[in-house]
């Protein structure tokens, strides 16, 4: 399947914006070009998920977990070397990103066309779904419920990257200690795959069960945070958070892939990307308002309640899935 015109256009949009960032990364050019880059990258991510949803011969759980693992390895490697590159010259950061996008575009143009994407139901959940012949409206409503849960998860998850980051200095913890939490996160994601495989095999054989366990782990991480004033508490919380994301994040697009009609998988995957984007955008704002007007404890309670209600609705509205 060759790359579509929209996919190539998204790559070109991203590349052009990165060329602009190499030359002009001051204000306000940086903000404008970053928005353009985000638009192009968003379309690329949707295309990747859409392609993954249409691959034949692979279990969707395996495909989306591989994408999730690859993204996190990339983030870990990129974060670890970005500081060294920035110390030399900040312009090199944008230049390195530009080269990676060009390399990615070359891979898409020369290798993407040789990959088979004819859809065959290879997962028992998907086979059952096709046999029952659900209507598109019911499928769409199920997707909205899943995406609403995903949005809430991201509202909570992004607190770690925003408001919780500001909490640690108040408890006399250094930014090095905060950075180490994310080092643990990245390492666990890479080396914890065998553990996740065992959990899926023994306790989470369906996407629904996998997501439920993942969200419960997210909730437990915020319960731990409520009582954490020492660094050890944050270490326990980040482990629970990592376990939750390892279970829930790859399972959500995989589950939507099995629900979506064959010809609309790309459109349905766009809702996944939209949900995470909205969650990342509004999460820090919501968290900041709650902390300013109340406290961090109240923020954690709100997140726990939101996640609890969302997973309850998800579990009972999607009983037949």
What token pair was written down for 196? 């996740």
Round to whole Å and give the CA distance between 264 and 257: 9
Round to whole Å and give the CA distance between 67 and 73: 10
- pLDDT < 50 positions in the chain: 1, 117-122, 127, 130-132, 134
274-308 per-position pLDDT tens digit = 898 899 889 999 999 999 999 999 999 999 999 99
Q: With H, G, I as helix, E, B as strand and everything else as coil, classify residue 115.
A: coil
pLDDT at 270: 83
Q: Are 267 and 172 in contact (CB under 8 A)?
A: no
pLDDT at 113: 61
Q: Are 1 and 113 in contact (CB under 8 A)?
A: yes
CA-wise closest residue to 64 among 250, 246, 188: 250
What token pair was written down for 319? 């009983």
pLDDT at 292: 94
pLDDT at 1: 46
> Omega of the bond prior to 212 within 30 degrees of 0, cis?
no
Residue with tokens 């939101």: 306
Q: Are 185 and 76 in contact (CB under 8 A)?
A: no
CA quadruple 120, 124, 125, 131: dihedral positive or negative? positive
> Omega of the bond prior to 28 within 30 degrees of 0, cis?
yes
| Class of CATH domain 133-317 | mainly alpha
pLDDT at 56: 64
Report the 10 Å Cβ neighbour count for 176.
Answer: 7
CA-wise closest residue to 208 among 255, 154, 259: 255
Report the 10 Å Cβ neighbour count for 218.
Answer: 25
pLDDT at 87: 76
Round to whole Å and give the CA distance between 54 and 262: 8
pLDDT at 158: 94
pLDDT at 119: 47
Residue with tokens 């020369």: 110
Q: At what angle do helices 91-111 and 5-23 cross, to 10 degrees?
A: 160
């Amino acid at each position: 399947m060759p790359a579509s015109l929209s996919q190539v256009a998204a790559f070109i949009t991203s590349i052009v914006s990165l060329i602009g960032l190499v030359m002009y990364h001051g204000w306000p050019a940086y903000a404008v070009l970053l928005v353009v880059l985000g638009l192009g990258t968003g379309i690329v991510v949707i295309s990747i998920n859409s392609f993954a949803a249409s691959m034949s011969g692979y279990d969707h759980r395996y495909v989306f977990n591989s994408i999730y693992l690859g993204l996190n390895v990339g983030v870990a490697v990129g974060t670890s070397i970005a500081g060294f590159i920035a110390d030399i010259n900040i312009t090199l950061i944008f230049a390195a990103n530009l080269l990676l996008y060009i390399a990615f575009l070359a891979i898409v143009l020369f290798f993407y066309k040789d990959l088979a994407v004819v859809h065959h139901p290879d997962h028992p959940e998907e086979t059952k779904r096709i046999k029952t012949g659900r209507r598109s409206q019911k499928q769409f409503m199920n997707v909205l419920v899943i995406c609403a849960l995903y949005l809430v998860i991201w509202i909570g998850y992004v607190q770690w990257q925003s408001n919780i980051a500001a909490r640690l200095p108040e408890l006399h913890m250094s930014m090095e200690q905060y950075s180490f939490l994310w080092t643990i996160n990245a390492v666990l994601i890479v080396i914890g795959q065998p553990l996740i495989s065992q959990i899926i095999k023994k306790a989470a054989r369906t996407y629904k069960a996998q997501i439920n366990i993942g969200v419960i782990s997210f909730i437990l991480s915020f319960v731990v945070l409520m009582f954490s004033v020492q660094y050890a508490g944050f270490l326990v919380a980040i482990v629970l958070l990592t376990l939750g994301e390892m279970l829930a994040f790859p399972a959500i697009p995989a589950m939507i892939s099995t629900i979506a009609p064959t010809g609309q998988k790309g459109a349905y995957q766009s809702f996944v990307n939209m949900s995470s984007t909205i969650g990342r955008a509004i999460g820090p704002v919501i968290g900041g308002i709650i902390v300013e007007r109340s406290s961090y404890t109240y923020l954690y309670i709100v997140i726990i309640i939101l996640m609890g209600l969302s997973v309850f609705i998800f579990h009972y509205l999607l009983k037949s899935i």
